[in-house]
Amino acid sequence: MDTEAKVVKTFSRFACQYDQYNQIQRLVASDLLSLLPLQCSFGMILDIGCGSGELYRQIEQKKIGFKTFYGLDLSDKMLSLHPNGENIIKLQRDFNQKDALCGVPLAHNTLILSSSALQWCQNLDALLKQLSLYSHTVFFAIFTSGTFKTLHQTAGICSPILSLEEVMQSIQKYYYGNFSLKHYQLTFDSVEAMFRYIKMSGVSGGKQQITIQQTKKVLKEYPLDYLEFEVIFFKGEGVCL
């Protein structure tokens, strides 16, 4: 099974429990929306990798105005948990495909958001290039390779997701704006509970990078009682090419 299929399978498999295990993604979504100007209103919002609708719910709570909300996600199970509404259009699409945005009426005043999803993008460059063609306002929160840093070090493996530098390089090609980096920690009673969280939250993307031997080593030697998360935030405008 390829990586993308594994990511979607994992999110679909644990979709029902996702809302119990998405503490960090919820915080990240809230931190992302706090970057938006106060009392703003938009014609259209596109949420890439919208999942079960964390951004949508928080947008409603914050009373951010919009006419139409497009939620794009590959997992039908996650999309089925997303709120419905007359002004909500759900798109079951793969953001790794060239035609992911086909038929989406992107316009100059479209607000493009993505929270905790683009770390699974196989060609971030290509997606950002497509998006930036319309010079939209974008707000991204993307997990980077410092996530689970000590766990990866203890197991002796490399992070499966892009580094901070790689994400920044891609974004800077197509957008100008501001970056900020945040680190989060989630505390656990045991390393077993930590592994359970990793499985249920889908943050590993279902990548079975870790062998039984490596798991045993982490169980024995992991020096922290928390997991580390590293997230890069970006707010900016498309560079007209």
Ligand X SMILES: C[S@@+](CC[C@H](N)C(=O)[O-])C[C@H]1O[C@@H](n2cnc3c(N)ncnc32)[C@H](O)[C@@H]1O
Per CB under 6 A, residues contacting ligand X are 4, 7-8, 11, 22, 25, 29, 49-51, 54-55, 73-75, 78, 94-96, 115-117, 120, 202
Shortest Å distance, C-beta 132 to ligand X: 18
- Which CB, 180 or 213, lies closer to ligand X? 180
Run of H or E including 19: helix 15-21
Shortest Å distance, C-beta 199 to ligand X: 13
- Which CB, 2 or 189, lies closer to ligand X? 2
Shortest Å distance, C-beta 137 to ligand X: 18
Pairing outcome for strands 41-48 and 65-73: parallel
- Which CB, 72 or 154, lies closer to ligand X? 72
* Residue environment code for 3-36, b if the CB has 16+ CB neighbours within 10 A, otherwise e: ebebbbbbbbbbbeebbebbebbebbbbbbbeeb
User: Phi and psi (nearest 5°) for 237?
Assistant: -125, 150
Interatomic CA distance for residues 49 and 59, integer angstroms: 15
- Which CB, 115 or 154, lies closer to ligand X? 115
- Which CB, 121 or 154, lies closer to ligand X? 121
Q: Which residue is nearest to ligand X (CB)?
A: 51
Given CA atoms 87, 5, 204, 206 in this order, what sign does their dihedral have? positive
Let me know the angle formed at the C-alpha of 168 by 164 and 169, rounded to the nearest 5 degrees: 115
Interatomic CA distance for residues 54 and 59, integer angstroms: 9
